Structure 1
Amino acid sequence: MSRAACSTLGTDSRTRRAHVAGDAEVHCARSNHQPAVSQALHSRQTLFLLVACLLTPFYVMAGSLSVTPVRIELSSAQRSVALTVRNDGDQPTVVQAQLVAWSQVDNDDRLEPTTDILASPPIFTVAPGASQILRIALRLAPDAARERAYRVLVTEVPGKPQP
């Protein structure tokens, strides 16, 4: 089993977690790395949605499934993106996508159900050697006053796949 080379992304044989890094990474970028770019993004009051995984050409892989790209950004200008879920195994796999709001309280992750974003399709079967597009979209207008962070959990559903 391969593991993703990203310390902020936890994987195991049944779950690929797309980690959305919000304020901590963005504030780090503002203070240390790209102040002009961050100020421009802030001045446009863009809502960031960073779906964790890794930066291209890296991908998240656990077991026989992989998810790419691993980092996305949604804003009022780009309200949806497509992820690719690939099955490199020799059996069909049923996959479920779950979306949660992510925050940190006292350095502990807090995951809460959300209706701010949606995944389509939320449950699907990927044939061996095939890929499936998973669309992630904003359901509401971005809030200019603050950034939000989410995680996409792409989970292999146990049992036999439906034909």
Structure 2
Amino acid sequence: MPMSRRLMILGLPVLLSACLSGGSSDLPDLPFTQLDGSQHRTSTFKGKVTVLNFWATSCTTCVKEMPQIVATHQRFQAQGLETLAVAMSYDPPAYVMQFAQTRQLPFRVAIDHDGSLAKAFGDVQLTPTTLVIDREGKVVKRYVGEPDFDAMHKLLGQLLSRPAA
């Protein structure tokens, strides 16, 4: 096997690990519309620890994990956690609305109509993708697929216990 190919194969796990672990991305300032029609900007999450969940009603893992996203929100909400569930652009709005209403989702829900939110947060294409964002607006953890909720809860506890800057 050529040396360049071996280096590429050996380096791929390191590259993937760096991409999936989060990093120091700044929180973009983008508009979004919640299901209730209210207009907001992602920059309003700056200064708050935020869970940002990209999902779709057609994604079985997304549907399966949603009760745990709800439980996470309820567990940490009093400590200041913000949660935003963003339905992917291909998800029919009526399905998203019905899902959110029948499950009484207790956090903000938006539809990424034009895909700009998914693009801005690392070109999210796979669902579920869940980001943990610190008070400084940095993505500190990116979960592709169902998160390890125990590890996420530990991380959220650490981030929320730090004083706001």
Q: TM-score, normalised by structure 2?
A: 0.25
Bigger helix share: 2
Q: TM-score, normalised by structure 1?
A: 0.25
